[in-house]
Amino acid sequence: MYYQWGRKDPFYGGEKTETSANAFLEAKNGTAVNPAYPALGWNFSKSATTTDGAAANPMTFYNNKVGTGYNWLASPNATLWGETKTLNDPCPPGYRVPETGAWEDLIAGRQYIDGVSVWDGTNCGMTYAHGGRTAWYPAQGYRNYSSGAIVGLRSSTGGSGAYWSVEASSVKSYYLFFRSKLSSSGSINNELDKERSYGYTVRCCKE
């Protein structure tokens, strides 16, 4: 599932890359909607809304220029997710969206660390080892902020992973990004910030 930063309701994932023209096609094909309310199906809206509007339309992917960035929310709010669990936090009881510090020890100069963070090109994802345990992070792609289309999926050429944190800058929010190991540029980073209308994955941590 993918989440726009600060929203509590998820957006359907999927197995196929999409274009702007066919965004949400796979989700629509796999969803039954009451025919009396066709507007309440999966949709993309080139507008911003309120928190109440988003809650009333959980299947609408909102995006519009707000100030100096793009957001689903007309009046940006950097406290919708936080270090203390909020009502909008999508994680189950006892868990919450993590800070970027949760991933500090898996990065060295924006590169993987042998034995700690390992890119798996066969299964398209990353294995993270910490405290004698391992966790699997699939390179599941994301929903593009400008159309809601799924891009960056796992494939024979790699793919990318994007996981939201609770941390926010003035108009954007921070996330963990990783992809196939490259020699020319960084391939893993937990200090990037992006528009809050992107649809990224959430990896919950214990409170």
DSSP 186-201: --EEEEEEEETTSEEB
Whether pLDDT at 39 is above 80: no
Q: Give the model's pLDDT for residue 81.
A: 97
Mean pLDDT in the chain? 91
Domain layout of the chain by residue ranges: 3-206
- Name beta bridge partners: 119: 126
Per-residue pLDDT of 98-122, as tens digits, reads 999 999 999 998 889 989 998 888 8
Whether pLDDT at 54 is above 90: yes
CB 46 within 8 A of CB 172: no
* Residue 156 identity (one-letter amino acid): S
**Per-residue confidence at 182, pLDDT binned at 50, 70, 90?**
low
pTM as predicted? 0.93
Of all residues in the chain, the percent with pLDDT exceeding 70 is: 96
Q: Give the model's pLDDT for residue 157.
A: 60
Distance CA 60, CA 48 (A): 11
Whether pLDDT at 42 is above 60: yes
* Residue 191 identity (one-letter amino acid): E
Q: Report the Cα 164 to chain-centroid distance in Å.
A: 5
Here the tokens at position 19 are 């274009």
CB 106 within 8 A of CB 114: no
